[in-house]
């Protein structure tokens, strides 16, 4: 059973690299690019929607949200583009994580904006 899980994790990781390569392809529709960027950024981000230190629930985003996001993004991208990037994705998956500072910065900006908005809402709520 552990070997099955390891295999699924490797396949899932490879699909992330397919998304990473595909979102930069000019033949991908904008809504698919945005979905792929969000999924890849979230999967590679050290910040989780649900922190991992929360027992059981903390890993649900990794076990449910990321695979669902990958499946959705793959469905939105034309299959010929996905097929074109599978071989390159296998090479990258075996080497290391891709470095895309723009996506990393964008993801950090999103988290900072969300924290700022939440802080304003909490302060506003406390003042009333």
Q: What global pTM score does this model have?
A: 0.63
pLDDT > 60? residue 97: no
Run of H or E residues at 9: helix 2-22
Predicted pLDDT of residue 28 = 93
Query: Angle formed by the axes of helices 2-22 and 66-76, to 10°?
Result: 40
- Taking the CA atoms of residue 11, residue 58, residue 77 and residue 74 in that order, the dihedral angle to the nearest 10 degrees is 40
Q: What is the rounded CA–CA span in Å between residue 14 and residue 40? A: 11
Predicted pLDDT of residue 99 = 59
With beta carbons less than 8 A apart as the criterion, state whether 18 and 71 touch. Answer: no
Predicted pLDDT of residue 93 = 64
pLDDT in tens, 64-88: 788 888 989 999 999 999 988 988 8
Closest CA to 77 of 43, 48, 37: 37
Q: How many CB atoms lie within 10 A of CB 60?
A: 14
With beta carbons less than 8 A apart as the criterion, state whether 81 and 25 touch. Answer: yes
């Amino acid at each position: 059973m552990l070997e099955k899980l390891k295999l699924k994790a490797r396949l899932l990781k490879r699909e992330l690299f397919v998304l990473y390569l595909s979102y930069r392809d000019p033949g991908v529709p904008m809504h698919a690019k945005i979905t792929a960027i969000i999924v890849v950024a979230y999967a590679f981000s050290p910040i989780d929607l649900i922190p991992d230190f929360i027992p059981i629930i903390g890993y649900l985003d990794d076990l449910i949200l990321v695979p669902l996001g990958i499946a959705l993004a793959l469905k939105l991208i034309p299959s010929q583009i996905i097929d074109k990037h599978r071989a390159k994705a296998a090479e990258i998956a075996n080497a290391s994580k891709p470095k895309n500072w723009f996506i990393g910065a964008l993801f950090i900006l999103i988290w900072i904006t969300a924290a700022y908005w939440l802080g304003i809402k909490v302060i506003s709520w406390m003042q009333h």
